[in-house]
Structure 1
């Protein structure tokens, strides 16, 4: 007897191939989603660090500089010269220099 030859994988072969393709697609999409989630978490952590650094910088900028203590003793001219030197070096702002000078002169 002559049997006709099958052409193609048949029903079970097609189902098996479809299952393999679906499983592979699921695995790949799961890996992509995991990578995207990890990148999003890293970006969120980086944003949070930037916000914390900016907040720390604002707090540091808002804090007043340490006041210049009034010098003890009677060398007013020497004290004024030291204050002027600190002001020229940039260690004292204009306001701090004026306040310290006023204290020295008793104003």
Structure 2
């Protein structure tokens, strides 16, 4: 019986050592692959952003409207009957206020 217990104990020690070594190897590999995977993800993300077109420049500002031309256009609308005298006067005041 002591020989049998010794064999069982030896098997348990060997199995426990193998399990510990296996676990350590798995952890090391997981750490190694996690670092590699993180680097690959970072490289892909950078490549994605490098392929994106640069932001388009803002459109040029519209040239300032000529107040004389605006008043002429306003007078034409009034002559066509599109604007009433009050609407014409209000718009004319806005145009003149924005120039001075």
TM-score interval, smaller chain? 0.5 to 0.7
TM-score normalised according to structure 1 size: 0.51
Residues in 2 aligned to 1:73 and 1:15: alpha-carbon distance in whole angstroms: 97
Post-superposition shift, 1:57? 0.2
1:7-22 equivalences in 2 (<5 Å): 12-22=1-11
Post-superposition shift, 1:60? 0.7
Structure showing greater Rg: 2
The match for 1:25 is: 14
Post-superposition shift, 1:20? 0.8
Residues in 1 aligned to 2:31 and 2:39: alpha-carbon distance in whole angstroms: 12
1:1-107 equivalences in 2 (<5 Å): 12-73=1-62
Report runs of 4+ in structure 1 exceeding 3 Å deviation. Answer: none
TM-score normalised according to structure 2 size: 0.54
Q: Structure 2: which 5+ residue stretches go unaligned?
A: 64-100
Structure with the bigger RCO (C-alpha within 8 Å, sep 6+) is 1
Post-superposition shift, 1:18? 2.0
Q: Structure 1: which 5+ residue stretches go unaligned?
A: 1-11, 75-107
More helix by share: 2
RMSD: 1.9
Residues in 2 aligned to 1:73 and 1:17: alpha-carbon distance in whole angstroms: 95
